[in-house]
Structure 1
Amino acid sequence: MESAPQKTIYFGTFVHSLEPTHLDICKNGAIGVDEAGKIVFVERDVENVEAVKKLHDWTSDAVVVIPTTGFFFPGFIDTHIHASQYPNAGIFGKSTLLDWLNDYTFPLEGSLSDLTRASHVYHRVVSRTLSHGTTTASYYATIHVPATNLLANICKARGQRAYIGRVCMDAMGPDYYRDESAAETLAKTRETIDYIRSIDPTHETVTPIITPRFAPACSTGCLADLGALHRETGYPIQTHISENVPEVNLVKELFPERKGYADVYDYAGLLTDKMILAHAVHLTDEEVALVKARDAKISHCPSSNTALTSGCCRVRKLMDAGIDVGLGTDVSGGFSASILESARQALGVSRFVAMTEGDAAKLSVEEVLYLGTRGGAKVVGLADQIGGFDVGKSWDAQMIVLNNVDETAQTHHELEAPVDYFGWETFPDLIHKWVYNGDDRNVGAVWVKGKLVHETSKSKS
């Protein structure tokens, strides 16, 4: 349940990424958060809370103390998730991308014109992502304006920071699930933008995001109109690119005058520093250079790419090119709404790439945690606000709690959550164990802008 923020000191171990390969672990830290949910001080190696209060002339008695086998970690940022597809998570049969859309995705998304059904789905996906520590999500909704607006309402009410995109598609899909024209696409997208502005004028919580589904689903006129809308409003954009080979070939057939998939978006004025490109599995070297030149961002979705046999994204190549990369769950191509699971899958995919391309392709635990936090913050354009525990940033955070099963523990017989601490591990070892073994049962509490937006029953007791 969301609660109003108050001046609070968070005391104990905190962990966050400073750089892709540098994970900062502070075992005796204190972080002060003001009533606006902003971090106002970070102290290291402190003896007790009272000393910190005296040092900062702190008047509030609100203190959250982390258990000795737990730590505070920044909230995860999901840079690519289809809220409307959540009921299908784990359902894809033997499909690849294009037949999966027709067999599973379009029927489900089309059904959410029913607002009762949409409400049920959207409440659940927001609850589920919050329970996994996702404090910011870039959501695809559906083509339906009322249902998309409903998702914005739910995110605002629950306190999850969210980008909300009405799906734009006028050139592909069944008759019951596509816009009749580029003009309708633009008009309905404006309706959603206007609505989100009305409920959150300064976009403290929810922000519109222009959402062409992907190039094959949009006419040239539709893409051009959305590019013009982007220039007019300055709102960010999200779409898909080079997810699998048949899709790339289809784009070549549909847009023969363009030099490649990325050029389709560039020509329409969509490939800018506010564009989130999901997947990017099969980008050519020329496209990588173009994406970098335009400072567009990439959402790596390893679970989905594996499940739909789309391919293995060369994340190291993208990072070495200087492109900002974050993690996405891509529910429901991806089977889990957990960014921690995406981080785990990113580690595995990078090792598959390394088996043929050499060890340099491997990602480290530190790097995937960076992608899920600071990297994701860059992708969604909020690097100055979220992603780490720096003074001036928002307190978007999760409390991670591990099981203490050392020889002196009284609860070693219980199996309440994954990740067992035996007492001899180093703290870096515990972080690695959490990444490879943890899940939502390790998330004790979640805050967004200092507001408590999720708490497990165990934490409440």
Structure 2
Amino acid sequence: MAAPNKLFLGSFVHSKKLKEIESLHNAAVAVDSSGKIVAVEKDCSEGRARETVLPRLGWREDEVEVVRAADGQFFFPGFIDTHIHASQYPNVGIFGESTLLDWLKKYTFPLEASLADSTKARQVYTRVIRKTLSHGTTCAAYYATIDVPSTNLLADLCHTAGQRALVGRICMNQNSPDKYRDASVESAIADTRANIEHIRSIDPSMALVRPIITPRFAPACSVDLMRQLGALAKETGLPIQTHISENTAEIAFVGELFPPSVTGAADDTYAAVYDACGLLTERTILGHAVHLTDSEAELVARRKAKISHCPCSNSALTSGAAPVRRQFLDRGIACGLGTDMSGGYSPSVLEAARQAALVSRQVVLSGTVDGKREDGAALSVDEVLYLATRGGAEVVGLADKVGAFEVGMDWDVQLIGLNIVGEDGEVINGDGDGGDVDVFGWESWPNQVAKWVYNGDDRNTKKVWVKGRLVHERR
């Protein structure tokens, strides 16, 4: 049976642009059976919607599903997680005293290698998909493992669950455990092609799940492997994801491994290495970019590559604080947010948004980063929510499809519920399970949204839709 057309009624909050959140109240949004928004009506009661919107669309009332936001609830675009390691989810919160390179050896590589066990992989991937959906993540750019069947399984599970995803088989052939690396450049390319073909077989139009070329990071890949992955991305038109300039020791290692005499690059900077290998493109997602030099940032901007800012893991692994405004936003570089589990400790993009705001304030307090003044570095609530939605959508190549309530976009949306507190101090709306976000009645809408950003969690995420399909409901 075809999905019904839907009419959503109530309050809608979304980003108009980087520094502007728009709130629509007493509004109606019509979503057709394919999950696409076909009408957005401001100041539109249910009665008016039935009398004018449905007839205009040629919809019969008895064939339309009506979804109403209750008191204390509003619709908000789904979050986009632009950098997340699905295979690392069991290690969330476990990083000990490690910095990046030690953490990879001690915690990460052993766990990822163990997911060649299909039973364990299914257990982990099923849970991470359910968990991220429960936090409102409607699209995730996933790193899997080097194992083809395990990576294919992740794609299958995303497709079945209805979560929009970019799924990448990790490629690495050096500076990693002997038993957890690609045997050769040729096998790495062949296995990546196998993963691409599998995803095309389950989602030929790639409307929900797409493959993404995934060199882990420069230290783990030979120049030949990176060049061939760059060529594969050009051949297929597929996106690329990798890490860059996360940690100062890692950056120094890249300089040692890849002098210009080896890569043919203009210099030995991290960005130049990727550029020389054909990996710095307008479809590239660069995770972290904490310590980019000005010349690297300018190169990234020229190539129109994108940045995934991962504030939680950058703090947890003591990697540093990325100067997001100066290096990315002021240069017009598209930037989204990543949870980077398990370097990051939370599956929540909302947590990443508030950490982005807090870390930006630490950048201000530091006075300078790499000798540059950072007085204007602080990110507002409006800005971090933009990064979590429309910014992330641009990073993953979906800027025209998701991230806002506009005609022609897909209904990738979450229903957010807050506690309304009565005069006796008790919650008077819904199930009373709005977590720590209490609204007393005198807060403006911008302040209610700010309270959600700084106090919210998955208890506030009541329902989640992807392409109009209900994929999560809090019970």
Equivalent residue runs for 1:47-446 within 5 Å: 48-56=45-53, 57=55, 58-59=59-60, 60-257=63-260, 258=265, 259=267, 260-317=269-326, 318-355=328-365, 356=367, 357-407=373-423, 411=427, 417-446=435-464
1:406 CA displacement: 2.6
Deviation by residue 1:186-214 (Cα, 9 ceiling, x = unmatched): 01000100111111110011100000000
Partner residue, 1:31: 29
Q: Normalized against structure 1, the TM-score is what?
A: 0.97
Q: Is the 8 A contact 2:433 2:459 kept in 1?
A: no
Q: Is the 8 A contact 1:215 1:251 kept in 2?
A: yes
One-letter identity of the residue aligned with 1:405 = V
Deviation by residue 1:345-375 (Cα, 9 ceiling, x = unmatched): 0001100001114441000000000000000
Q: Distance between the aligned counterparts of 1:305 and 1:423, measured in 2?
A: 37
Q: Distance between the aligned counterparts of 1:209 and 1:169, measured in 2?
A: 15
One-letter identity of the residue aligned with 2:363 = V
Q: Distance between the aligned counterparts of 2:207 and 2:241, measured in 1?
A: 19
Q: Distance between the aligned counterparts of 1:4 and 1:386, measured in 2?
A: 22
Measured at CA, do residues 358 and 236 of structure 1 come closer, stay the same or move farther in structure 2, by a change above 3 Å?
A: closer
- Aligned residue pair count: 454
1:176 CA displacement: 1.0
Q: Is the 8 A contact 2:242 2:285 kept in 1?
A: yes
Q: Distance between the aligned counterparts of 1:416 and 1:379, measured in 2?
A: 31
Which SS does the other structure have where 2:376 is aligned?
helix
Q: Is the 8 A contact 1:200 1:206 kept in 2?
A: yes
Q: Distance between the aligned counterparts of 1:362 and 1:416, measured in 2?
A: 28
One-letter identity of the residue aligned with 1:313 = A
One-letter identity of the residue aligned with 1:254 = L
Q: Distance between the aligned counterparts of 1:352 and 1:14, measured in 2?
A: 32
Q: Distance between the aligned counterparts of 1:408 and 1:401, measured in 2?
A: 20
1:115 CA displacement: 0.3
1:28 CA displacement: 1.2
Q: Distance between the aligned counterparts of 1:198 and 1:71, measured in 2?
A: 37
RMSD: 1.3
Measured at CA, do residues 194 and 61 of structure 1 come closer, stay the same or move farther in structure 2, by a change above 3 Å?
A: closer
Q: Distance between the aligned counterparts of 1:323 and 1:279, measured in 2?
A: 13
Partner residue, 2:5: 7
One-letter identity of the residue aligned with 2:385 = L
One-letter identity of the residue aligned with 1:377 = A
Which SS does the other structure have where 1:62 is aligned?
strand
Measured at CA, do residues 61 and 201 of structure 1 come closer, stay the same or move farther in structure 2, by a change above 3 Å?
A: closer
Structure 1 alignment gaps of length 5 or more: none
Which SS does the other structure have where 2:29 is aligned?
strand
Q: Distance between the aligned counterparts of 1:278 and 1:27, measured in 2?
A: 36
Measured at CA, do residues 454 and 279 of structure 1 come closer, stay the same or move farther in structure 2, by a change above 3 Å?
A: same
Q: Distance between the aligned counterparts of 1:186 and 1:370, measured in 2?
A: 36
1:50 CA displacement: 2.4
Q: Is the 8 A contact 1:5 1:452 kept in 2?
A: no
1:49 CA displacement: 1.2
1:61 CA displacement: 3.5
Q: Is the 8 A contact 2:281 2:304 kept in 1?
A: yes
Q: Distance between the aligned counterparts of 2:126 and 2:400, measured in 1?
A: 29
One-letter identity of the residue aligned with 2:245 = S
1:4 CA displacement: 6.7
Identity of aligned residues (%): 58
Q: Distance between the aligned counterparts of 2:434 and 2:23, measured in 1?
A: 25
Q: Is the 8 A contact 1:34 1:40 kept in 2?
A: yes
1:5 CA displacement: 3.6
Q: Is the 8 A contact 1:4 1:452 kept in 2?
A: no
Q: Normalized against structure 2, the TM-score is what?
A: 0.94
1:408 CA displacement: 7.0
Q: Is the 8 A contact 1:13 1:72 kept in 2?
A: yes
One-letter identity of the residue aligned with 1:444 = K
Q: Distance between the aligned counterparts of 1:179 and 1:448, measured in 2?
A: 35
Measured at CA, do residues 61 and 195 of structure 1 come closer, stay the same or move farther in structure 2, by a change above 3 Å?
A: closer
Q: Distance between the aligned counterparts of 1:152 and 1:162, measured in 2?
A: 8
1:136 CA displacement: 0.3
One-letter identity of the residue aligned with 1:269 = G
Q: Is the 8 A contact 2:136 2:464 kept in 1?
A: yes
Which SS does the other structure have where 1:360 is aligned?
coil
Runs of 4+ in 1 over 4 A off after TM superposition: 412-416
Structure 2 alignment gaps of length 5 or more: 368-372
Partner residue, 2:370: none
One-letter identity of the residue aligned with 1:159 = G
Which SS does the other structure have where 2:156 is aligned?
helix
Q: Is the 8 A contact 1:239 1:277 kept in 2?
A: yes
Q: Distance between the aligned counterparts of 1:377 and 1:291, measured in 2?
A: 18
Measured at CA, do residues 391 and 306 of structure 1 come closer, stay the same or move farther in structure 2, by a change above 3 Å?
A: same
